[in-house]
Chain A
Amino acid sequence: MAKVIMNMITQRSIEEGAAMEQGKTNPNYFDACSICEINPEDMKKLGIWKNTNVRVTSECGSVIVKAIEPSQYCPPGLAHIRQGVWANQVVPPRTQSTGTPQYSGFPVTIEPAINEKLKTALELVQGSVGLWKGGQ
């Protein structure tokens, strides 16, 4: 299975903002934020088509997101998960003593996860703290 090490950034996007204001349990938020923008060259290295699920693993966690072609060009080697619930599953909390976590510019390993399902926002957050009861 192809694994690629990439540099991850997590930033705002209008799709994320617009969806967030409809509620984080809204399907639009799911669609907007459970994605990872990866340059087509890197997708080739991974051996996947666009819109395929991938596993993104950082030094502190792992998440399944859907790999899509960037709506704003990412150079090869740079991946982008829009800020939000999925991104924060992997953002390292180290702050370089400033208080601010490493939201952008951290190494991740990305590998195809074709058969794995995306989790909902509630499942991810509640699941991380032992409150997930199943359902939506």
Chain B
Amino acid sequence: MPKLITGVGCPYCGSSCDDLEVLISDDETKVLEVHNACIIGNNLFHHANDPTRPRLPRQRQPDGSMKEIPYEEAIDYFAKTLLAAKKPLIYGFGSTNCEGMSAVGRIAEKAGAVLDNCATICHGPSFLAMFDNGYPSCTLGEAKNRADVVVFWGCNPMHAHPRHTSRYSIFPRGYFTGKGQMARTVLSIDPRETDTAKLADVHLMLDQGHDYELFDAFRTVLRGHDIPDKVAGIDKETIIKAVDIMKKARFCMIFFGMGCTHTDGRNHNIDAAISLTRDLNDHTKCSIMAMRGHYNIAGPGQVWSWQFGFPYCIDLSKGTHAHMNPGETSSIDLAMRDEVDCFVNVGADAGAHFPIQAVQHLKKHPFIAVDPNFCMASEIADLHIPVRIAGVDEPGVVYRMDNVPIQFKAVLKGLPGVPSDEELFDRVYERMCELTLTQPIWLAAKEHRKYPHNTNPMVS
């Protein structure tokens, strides 16, 4: 009999919807139907059924082809490569669970690696702005229950977070927002008329790359001063009207995304946005939130902050203390300046999402990809190690875009013999300790590691 599992979390975007229902086969190995997910989540779950999913690590041969090797061999290669490298870079973690991120922390510390995550090419500028200006924010439920003015600045949830507007930001009927969309005024600031802009009551189609000036103009108007007739391509009257809407809100919620972080100004755009939020708090209640891209990209920021004190770009190569300096210790910059001599890609696809020149630099050195599926990184890697899909065949803690932790379930039994990220990293760590004649450092929390679906015996 097929089984229906409820309360399933979707491991795609930062909305981290946990209201999915998945119908699985009786033997718990196939996804039959997915309810409540958007098309992307739906595709993700069904893709887990793909019979060509790799079940063994693959190592690149001298002639360029890939050959399957046992896990033990892959783990040995992984451990040796990390130990041999002076400054390996371990990057990714958009699509793993927190248990995996924690396990990799041990490895990175031992190897003296640089530990970085997708934020480095995504909301890194948001972190940089936070370091200077703070982050007045809230959980998504606050936006759902209270927000009557919602601003989407440089983000397009209809495409990047498809159920965000239904679950949190535009449509839901919340505690104090019983009239749903009818009682919300939506502003979209975007250089294109995106599908989100089409839903908005006001769309400011600004000149691309001029968000900073517009944020500044908003602040200037809010403080009662005059602005030029046109700023960033937007008329003065429109700006004044938009500020008025925000100022008169009962609860103004600002969401922002790559339109601000990927463009000229980077962190300065976000800094201006946060300053605007702080200014608005003198008039009304206002909160701001970064639209984090992946379902658990907030995870490494959280886990590594409590373990090392920094959310990304963590250079552990000094051995005595952690050091963070985005621009210096960030993945792309390290790659472009040839400052790393090994690259490990976990739960992300640098092969597809890094500018190709950075990939070319990284490919000068050993390149390892840890991913449940084939992806661009795995197809250029020297070693591809498959692991279970977090959220599908591996449970774990996940941090939503608003940093709320959600305990995701596994709905399928994992492929036989395929470990989770956590288990893989723990085994690599143990191997590294064996090779260096040191004892692994397990805190009390790790003394009993249990992997119910995995049939492989532990490395003793």
- Enumerate chain A interface residues (CB-CB to B < 8 A): 7, 9-14, 17-25, 60-61, 70, 72-75, 78, 80, 83-85, 88-89, 91-93, 95-105, 121-122, 124-126, 128-131, 133
Contacts and interface: CB of A to CB of B under 8 A. Distances in A.
Given A17-B159, A98-B266, A75 B192 contact: yes
A65 to B, nearest CB: 14
Contacts of A105: 208-209, 262-264
B64 A12 contact: no
A103 B352 contact: no
B366 interface: no
A22 B200 CA distance: 31
B245 interface: no
Greatest chain A CB density within 10 A among B162, B192, B354 is at: B192
B94 interface: no
A9 B266 contact: no
Contacts of B261: 100
Interface string B41-52: 101100100100
Nearest to A84: B352
A93 B374 contact: no
Interface size class of B (residues with CB under 8 A): 35 or more
Contact of B313 (A7, A99, A104): A99
Interface of B: 12-13, 38-41, 43-44, 47, 50, 64, 120-122, 124-125, 128, 156, 158-160, 162, 191-195, 197, 205, 208-209, 258-259, 261-264, 266-267, 293, 313, 326-327, 330-333, 335-336, 349, 351-360, 363, 373-376, 379-380
A99 B335 CA distance: 10
A82 to B, nearest CB: 9
Contacts of B351: 125
Nearest to B161: A12
Given A24-B349, A105-B263, A100 B192 contact: no
A100 B259 CA distance: 13
B376 A99 contact: no
Contact of B356 (A18, A88, A104): A88
A29 B89 CA distance: 28
Given A61-B357, A72-B195, A104-B258, A23 B208 contact: no
